[in-house]
Amino acid sequence: MFKVMRNFFQRPVVNFIGRTLLYLLIMIGLVYLYNYSGINQPHFIYNEF
């Protein structure tokens, strides 16, 4: 069973699709974290000292 799965995942097409999906998920996660951090929001400046 393990040998069959290993042979399946060593195929170039399966390897390419798997890596593409992995990198796509990483990129989506990074974009989500970038948007969640609020970098584009204006910063609060306290002027009443």
Query: Pick from 2, 26, 33: which is nearest to 18 by CA?
Result: 26
pLDDT for the residue numbered 15:
94
Mean pLDDT by 10 residues, the chain (49 residues): 88 94 96 74 61
Q: Measured between alpha carbons, how far is residue 9 from residues 3, 20, 26, 44 in Å? A: 10, 14, 20, 51
Contact at 8 Å (CB) between 8 and 14?
yes
Could you tell me the two tokens for 25? 């998920």
What's residue 42's pLDDT?
Answer: 62
- Residue 39 is classified by DSSP as T
Q: Answer whether 19's CB lies under 8 Å from 27's CB.
A: no
